[in-house]
Amino acid sequence: MPAAPKKKEGNGEPGVRTPQQARSRRTRARVLEAAVEVFEERGYEESTTAEIARRASVAVGSVYGYFPDKRAIMLEIVQETFARSEMEIIDALAPELWLEGDMRQKVRALVDTAIRARRLRPGIGRIVWERFFSDPLVKEAVETIEGKAVEAIERLLHATAQRGITNVRDIPSTAFVIHTSVEWIASRVVLGEVPGGMLDATINTTSEMISRLILKEPPAS
């Protein structure tokens, strides 16, 4: 890590300008887009603020007009990207969608969604796990969003349990286990090179695993 000059704190409150004017907002967005591009291509550490500025057709100094530092840019992108992925899943978890129809099919569709959701910005997904354990703010942000997804699963399990569709001993841990498993399977499948025909089998098996865990009826022998 380079010089990392001391952040001059206190006195006035020069802060980071909050865009109120249209042009400002547009510039800020351009920087963000450029950063996504660069981060996708090179990862976080390998990306430089200079390159981001260049791609955004903006001066380095201007970048610092919108973000306090490089990390903040990454944080915002990671948050936004991760949230978007999880939102897709959370949406698909709305109880009202699960009260009728073939559960196993829905579970499979859900797993499918989880994987597809991660395909959008795989490079950012990579950064999530790269930074997760080393940057407390990333961890916090990710855990908050994950928490929402877990809650959505919990709500679903409650709703379906009431209808007698599912039968789960301990809903919180079940929600956590399901979420965690699917998250990592999806990440590894998307970010690694999955052996050709293996993808479908993996989705099937994952769905089967979840279905058996939550459904009331015995597995199709």
Return the residue of 12, 101, 164, 196 that touches a second copy, per CB under 8 A: 12
- Does position 12 interact with DNA (CB under 7 A)? The reply is no
CB of 33 closer than 8 Å to CB of 56: yes
Distances (CA, A) of 102 to 88, 94, 95, 108, 197: 20, 15, 14, 10, 25
Distance of CA 39 to the CA centre of its chain: 15
Residue 215: φ, ψ to 5°: -75, 150
Q: Which of a second copy, DNA, none binds 70 (CB below 5-8 Å, type-dependent)?
A: DNA
Return the residue of 6, 12, 96, 219 that touches DNA, per CB under 7 A: 6
Q: Which of a second copy, DNA, none binds 204 (CB below 5-8 Å, type-dependent)?
A: a second copy
Those residues with Cβ within 8 angstroms of residue 158's Cβ, 6 or more apart along the chain or in another chain: 95, 171
- Does position 64 interact with a second copy (CB under 8 A)? The reply is no
Question: 196: helix, coil or strand?
Answer: coil
Segment 24-83, which members bind DNA (CB under 7 A)?
24, 26-27, 46-50, 57-62, 64-66, 68-71
93 vs 182 by CB, closer to a second copy: 182
Segment 19-48, which members bind a second copy (CB under 8 A)?
42-43, 45-46, 48
- The 10 Å Cβ neighbour count of residue 46 is 10
Burial class (CB in 10 A: 0-12, 13-18, 19+), 107: buried
Q: Which residues bind to a second copy, rule: CB under 8 A? A: 1-8, 10-13, 15, 42-43, 45-46, 48, 50-51, 54-55, 126, 129-134, 139, 143, 167, 169-170, 172-174, 176-177, 180-181, 183-185, 188, 191-192, 198, 201-202, 204-206, 208-210, 212-213, 218-219, 221
